[in-house]
A and B are shown apart, each in its own frame.
Chain A
């Protein structure tokens, strides 16, 4: 409850937890992320991580994409 006002970012979610994309905070990578299917309202989950926890593989719309942590950090998500 305490964390309710804080939005979570994609790099911090735990494995296999289904979340919904709320916003992409970085304008520069937003076009590229959206064309890979990461748009507002889409469901996404982390499915596995590389050794050292970075990059992380996500499943979105049946696709698997890999993102560096610093990129995933730009994606705000909320519980689905």
Chain B
């Protein structure tokens, strides 16, 4: 049997899903749309069933993307996800409004289990629910009470599922889908339904409720000073983790893959296949896994904030600030996370329900200067920006670095501003939102979210990243047959004969890269990048750093035949400062350096971002548009900067 899980947002629906399926769950997309579909299997006394978790919605009438998915599936009995039965999760402490959607599903005729979740909270609030009356009002529904946060009620649900029967039933209130198309008709039906539900008198307040603790907390957390202060502190903490602490597991993963690659080249027989595995495939997979710590950390925090109810307060206090840019408060977390890395940032844009706002957020996120740009920035700044202090205090180099970050942020917001007029709205945006009571986060739910995001990244984006990195590796490793002759010439040169073993290796690598396909391509495109102040060597570094921005530094190190260790970095800076072009002027002049810096602020230069955008928008259209747009902006601004400064 195929069973669908429905319910309003904030009813603990995902707790119920996790309780029922445990680790037997996987995430995908509903066909053709970018709405998460979680699937799992559940075991009832009578058999095994498939459970599909639908997004939380308030009614059958669709406005947002999430709601459209729900409506489309329910309206089409031939849809692959069309359910045989429904589990409806309701917040027992908020029963009447939750019964609206339930009564609609009941009237559509589905065999249905009504789960009154958070039963304990209803009791705490002093609410008495007349279950007998509820059963009389919906005679064909199976009604159970649960408390999924502490895993109470699993067998009640599975037993109730087995007791379901499909039969004709009298509707709670006439519900003719064909006639309920207009806004007025929908409003009228909703109002009648709610009135009828309220008239049942299902809920009695036993004693006067204690003043809402959440509201008191909100006086501080949404305060115009403390609210922003606390949010900044939380953000700083998250940043500290993604920026600094994540580098520990990242370096570890990096190191392990380097060792694995070395081990493979030693153990496996010398040949093309071994090189492909040791230098192409293994580093490619390593290049995927290296993002896992940052993704896991960011989603750990986001899930924690969401579970606690705080995330909706962030949206509440940031909404007004983001609105001028066509974004809402939900864009804040994705955009700010992108300062560490756009990959988890873009993945976290899923929390934005409005498609247009989500798309704009995803589109502008890579303009935020991520941590992979830092090695490029610091190298170029130390080469072309003098180490002087303005007024004896402010470091000019630091000021330039700050300016680059600012440039990225301003451009991201500016692009969002323009895009809100260009992107068509698929759904009508409204911003009525529930502010759920604060709760203690349930750590197992947090764990499931982290696991799910990591899995999605590895399986969906990982394939693309590995494929592109193998391609780039092949282009940088192989070259036309003329290479052999060039290598022979090098080996006969006096400079090579005088060099020591390490230097020989470095000279070899430099020649092999410059004679590779990427090297030839770099030379071929030199006329195109000359107006930006770049020579073919920079062109090669640009091309190879499409894998990831920081590769720029490594590529230059290879081309100029200096090692990549910490001493190599110093030698590289020295070498770049000495480098002269054919007119005897320094290649890395202020104009060229500034032009390169600006280029790296704007250019996409990250295949992992492309892969993630493809995954999140379910089409190649958006990542390719983004690549093109960012490329054009980078090229033009680098051109302008160079021409002004030269």
A interface vs B, CB < 8 Å? 24, 27-37, 39-40, 47-48, 50-52, 54-55, 57, 59, 61-68, 71
Contacts and interface: CB of A to CB of B under 8 A. Distances in A.
Contacts of B183: 27-28, 30-31
B59 interface: yes
A59 to B, nearest CB: 8
Given A37-B97, A65-B435, A31 B222 contact: no
Given A31-B186, A39-B195, A48 B430 contact: no
- Top 7 closest pairs, chain A to chain B, by CB: A51-B224, A31-B186, A35-B59, A30-B187, A34-B190, A64-B435, A27-B183
A30 B224 CA distance: 31
Contact of B58 (A35, A48, A64): A35
Contacts of A59: 212, 215
Given A39-B194, A51-B320, 12 more contacts: A28-B183, A28-B428, A29-B430, A35-B100, A37-B194, A47-B218, A50-B319, A51-B223, A52-B320, A57-B222, A64-B437, A66-B432
Given A55-B320, A62-B125, A67-B431, A48 B215 contact: yes
B97 A61 contact: yes
Contacts, number: 117
Interface string B187-226: 1001100110000000000000100101100110011100
A64 B633 CA distance: 44
Contacts of A33: 432
B437 to A, nearest CB: 8
B445 to A, nearest CB: 22
B94 interface: yes
Contact of B316 (A27, A29, A36, A50): A50
B214 A64 contact: yes
Given A28-B183, A34-B191, A55-B316, A62 B59 contact: no
A54 B224 CA distance: 11
Contacts of A71: 430-432
Given A24-B187, A39-B195, A64-B214, A31 B432 contact: no
Nearest to B431: A68
B97 A31 contact: no
B270 interface: no
Given A28-B183, A30-B187, A48 B219 contact: yes
12 contacts: A29-B432, A31-B63, A32-B63, A37-B194, A50-B319, A51-B317, A55-B316, A61-B94, A64-B214, A66-B434, A66-B435, A71-B432
Interface string B33-64: 00000000000000000000000001101010
Nearest to B58: A35
Contacts of A67: 431-433
Contact of A48 (B61, B125, B218): B218
B602 to A, nearest CB: 32
B57 to A, nearest CB: 9
B188 to A, nearest CB: 9
A52 B296 CA distance: 34
A79 B94 CA distance: 25
Interface of B: 58-59, 61, 63, 93-94, 96-97, 100-101, 125, 183-184, 186-187, 190-191, 194-195, 209, 212, 214-215, 218-219, 222-224, 227-228, 312, 315-317, 319-321, 428, 430-437
Given A36-B434, A48-B215, A64-B214, A57 B316 contact: yes
A64 B101 CA distance: 19
A34 B320 contact: no
B94 A66 contact: no
A54 B319 CA distance: 8
A31 B437 CA distance: 24
B428 A63 contact: no
Nearest to B97: A37
Nearest to B428: A28
A43 B93 CA distance: 18
B365 to A, nearest CB: 24
A34 B228 contact: no
Nearest to A62: B94
Contacts of A48: 215, 218-219, 222
A42 to B, nearest CB: 9
A9 B486 CA distance: 81
Contact of A51 (B186, B228, B432): B228
Contacts of B321: 52
A48 to B, nearest CB: 6
A57 B435 contact: yes
B101 to A, nearest CB: 8
A68 B209 CA distance: 28
B434 A47 contact: no
B556 to A, nearest CB: 47
B228 A57 contact: no
Contacts of B312: 66
Given A24-B187, A66-B435, A36 B97 contact: yes
A55 B430 contact: no
A55 B319 CA distance: 7
A68 B319 CA distance: 9
B432 A34 contact: no
A30 B432 CA distance: 11
A63 B434 contact: yes
A28 B215 CA distance: 30
B172 to A, nearest CB: 16
A65 B428 contact: no
A78 B224 CA distance: 29
B90 to A, nearest CB: 13
A33 B100 CA distance: 13
A21 to B, nearest CB: 11
Contacts of B184: 27, 30
Contacts of B316: 50, 55, 57, 66
B435 A31 contact: no
B194 A34 contact: yes
B430 A63 contact: no
A64 B431 contact: no
A79 to B, nearest CB: 21
Given A39-B194, A65-B434, A71-B430, A54 B97 contact: no
Contacts of B432: 29, 32-33, 36, 65-67, 71
A30 to B, nearest CB: 4
B187 A31 contact: yes
